[in-house]
Amino acid sequence: MKKGISYFGTRDLRWVKKDLDEIKRAKFSYIIHTFSEEDLRYYRQNLKEIIYESKKRNLEVFFDPWGVGKYFGGEPPSFFTSEYPEECIVIKNKRKPVACPNSKKFRNLLKEWSLFSIETGADGIFMDEPKLIDEKCLCKNCKGKNLKDSGIKLLKWIAELWKKENKKVSICLLPYSLKKDFLEIFFKSKNFDIIGTDPYPVLFNKNFDRESKNAISILKDYRGKYKKEIEIWIQAFKLKKKEENYIKKFYEFCKKEKIDRVSFWAFMGCYEMGHLRCERPFKVWEIIKKLY
Ligand SMILES: [Zn+2]
């Protein structure tokens, strides 16, 4: 079982290097670097340096289009949705600040983002929680097209861009999106290598045990059929002290279930971002570090 960690926020190489050493010492084999629209606009040089330092430490590197167009999951704001509101989705006559999968301008942005990532040396893309909404979009580009079908087309198009360059493509679907119509498509497609989900306790009320086991069993069924890697995310954000023992317990469960990749969101219990920070981020990191 491979162990991965997501990393975000810090762009100052002096600190990033220290963190990467820490990550390497904790025996992680891959890292997911968030790469927002702000990074694409203002931090290209930093990203190049960060990738260089990550690869130097033999970490497999994935880039995450973090909050890009607000179409993918992530906290950062989007320039795209504020600069091109007419390229955003319209559901039941209400425009939402989310880029439309049928917008050519949005595709251009994703292409620019992908080409830069590939050129920089990323080993793969990690598409996090894409918004596959089963609704009609009434924007000028769609005129009633279904957003779920259009979204799948968009994701396949991005995957193809990366596969053409022999890169890995990983996708994370929210637990409630683990439905046959999505899974069949991504598992069947030769352009997706890793299919995952993030059954975070924060997503469920009291049903974490049942729901997380259910999510894992669904993915395992598909893996058996299609021979792809599956990835499970473990919550290392917003955890309260009393919830900390979930980490080891759930990690051990994943190990028992022979999950291919187990990833944590995120480094140092999200100390870097107050909004996501665990109650005891350093303690959380100590727990994660010891998991093998
Ligand atoms: Zn649209």
Residue 95 domain-assigned? no
pLDDT tens column, 32-65: 999 999 999 999 999 999 999 999 999 999 999 9
User: What is the DSSP pairing of strand 88-91 with strand 94-99?
Assistant: antiparallel
In this structure, is residue 64 part of a structural domain?
A: yes
Distance 193 CA to ligand 1 centre (A): 28
With respect to residue 265, please indicate whether it lies within any of the assigned structural domains. yes
CATH number, domain with residue 238: 3.20.20.80
30-34 and 60-64 strand pairing: parallel
Query: Considering the chain, what is the average pLDDT of its residues?
Result: 97
Residue 140 domain-assigned (yes or no)? no
| Alpha carbon of 90 to ligand 1 centroid (Å) | 6
Cα–Cα distances (Å) from 172 to 86, 120, 169, in that order, read: 28, 23, 10
Q: Quick one: what percent of the chain has pLDDT higher than 90?
A: 97
Q: Residues with beta carbon < 5 A to ion ligand 1?
A: 100, 102, 137, 139, 141-142
Q: 143: pLDDT confidence band, cut at 50, 70 and 90?
A: very high
Q: How many angstroms separate the alpha carbon of residue 86 from the centre of ligand 1?
A: 9
242-252, pLDDT tens digit by residue? 999 999 999 99
Q: pLDDT at residue 134 above 90?
A: yes
- Three-state SS at 266: coil
Question: How many angstroms is it from 83 CA to the middle of ligand 1?
Answer: 16
pLDDT at 181: 86
In a domain, 224, yes or no: yes
- Has residue 205 got a pLDDT over 80? no
Q: How many CB atoms lie within 10 A of CB 165?
A: 12
Say if 66 falls within a structural domain.
yes
Whole-number pLDDT of residue 159:
98
Distance 142 CA to ligand 1 centre (A): 4
Tokens of 13: 């190489």
Report the pLDDT value the prediction gives residue 162, as an integer from 0 to 100. 98
Tens-digit pLDDT profile for residues 12-39: 999 999 999 999 999 999 999 999 999 9
CA of 257 to the centre of ligand 1 (A): 40
From ligand 1's centre to the CA of 130, what distance in Å? 15
139 in any annotated domain: no
Going by C-alpha positions, the residue among 269, 186, 281 that lies closest to residue 229 is 186
State phi, psi for 281 to the nearest 5 degrees: -60, -40
Cα of 81 vs centre of ligand 1, distance in Å, is 13
Residue 32 within any structural domain of the chain: yes
Could you list the residue range(s) of the whole structural domain that residue 216 is in? Answer: 2-70+106-130+146-289
Q: What is the mean pLDDT of residues 115-124?
A: 98
Kindly list the distances between the CA atom of residue 34 and the CA atoms of 56, 103, 126, 210, in Å, as whole numbers in the listed order. Answer: 18, 23, 9, 30
6 Cα–ligand 1 center, Å: 31
Number of domains in the chain: 1
Q: How far is ligand 1, taken at its centre, from the CA of residue 78, in Å?
A: 17
7 within 8 A of 266, measured Cβ to Cβ: yes
The residues pairing with 170 across neighbouring beta strands, listed in sequence order, are 126, 194
Instruction: State the pTM of this model.
Output: 0.97
